[in-house]
Amino acid sequence: MTLGRILLLDDGCSRGGDRGAEPGETVGLCLLQSGGQTDREIQGIEEKEHGDSGGETDLMEKLTIRNMREDDAAALSELLADPRVMKYLEPPFSEEKARQFLVSAGLSDPPLIWAAEDEDGFIGYVIDHDYDESSREIGWVLKQEVWGRGYAKELTRQLIARAEREEKDVILECDPEQSATKHIAEAAGFVYEGRRGGCEVYRRKTT
């Protein structure tokens, strides 16, 4: 899976390599960046990449990854009801479906998703969980309002650092049409490995 698609299983993408999944099981699918980022958002990412290094420090201090909480239900429901966010994921979620997802993926032990915040509060969630014995899968789903600010790049950097502390490779999967995710993956040192279950798979080796 990759940047952003840990949703209710209803297509060919499944979590953990060749691991199977029962219909309706909540697992990571093609983890995509916030659904439907456009060339405008990619341009914003590139401008930040070529800016001064102080911007990276600012973002590192601004963004927080934390455990999901029950009181995230309303914000998560709003995020997953947005058609643009869900463009490459699944049909927009109802409030009840979003709540089920929070319980099964965010409040599980261990969790599959984690809340992401900036100084104004909840901005979406990141995916971070074991993919297999030697790698972790990462990704994100972010609110439209924060697209193009370089958040996805910085969150990816933080998630890579977490995997490296465990000396594990990092996996990203995305929809073949999700160009923004591919751009960020390649810029972060991921290498394309092929397709699995309809998703394009990228790996960044730690060693």
Q: Please, are residues 137 and 28 in contact by the beta-carbon 8 Å criterion? A: yes
Determine the longest span between alpha carbons in the chain, in angstroms: 47
Instruction: For residue 93, tell me if it sits in a domain.
Output: yes
Is residue 2 situated within a structural domain? no
* Beta carbons within 10 angstroms of residue 39's beta carbon: 10
Per-residue pLDDT, averaged over 82-99, amounts to 94
Please name the residue that has the structure tokens 């910085």: 154
Task: Compute the average pLDDT of residues 109-119.
Answer: 96
| Segment 91-102 mean pLDDT | 96
Q: Which of 11-15, 93-97, 181-185 has the highest mean pLDDT?
A: 93-97
Average the pLDDT over 73-77 and give the result. Answer: 98
Instruction: Name which residue leads in pLDDT, 1 or 141.
Output: 141
pLDDT of 114 over the 70 cut: yes
What CATH number corresponds to the domain at position 101?
Answer: 3.40.630.30
Question: Which pTM was predicted?
Answer: 0.78
Q: Is the pLDDT of residue 13 over 60?
A: no
Residue 85 lies in a domain: yes
Q: What is the structure's pLDDT at 76?
A: 97
Q: Judge whether 189 lies within some domain.
A: yes
Give the mean model confidence (pLDDT) for residues 175-181: 89
User: What type of residue sits at position 81?
Assistant: A
Mean pLDDT of the chain: 79
Residue 101 lies in a domain: yes
Q: Which residues pair with 127 in a beta bridge?
A: 113, 139
Is residue 33 scored above 90 in pLDDT? no
> What is the total count of domains within the chain?
1
> Is 33 a domain residue?
no
> Distance between CA atoms of 7 and 24, rounded to whole angstroms?
10
Residue 120 resides in a domain: yes
The Cα–Cα gap between 114 and 102 comes to 10
**Which residue range forms the structural domain that includes residue 72?**
39-198
- DSSP letters of 51-72? S-THHHHHHHHH-EEE---GGG
pLDDT digits (tens, 9 = 90+) for 121-175: 999 999 999 999 999 999 999 999 999 999 999 999 999 999 999 999 999 998 8
In this structure, what DSSP letter does residue 41 have? H
The pLDDT assigned to 56 comes to 61
- Identity of the residue numbered 18: D
Q: Residue 149 is encoded by which pair of tokens? A: 């600010």
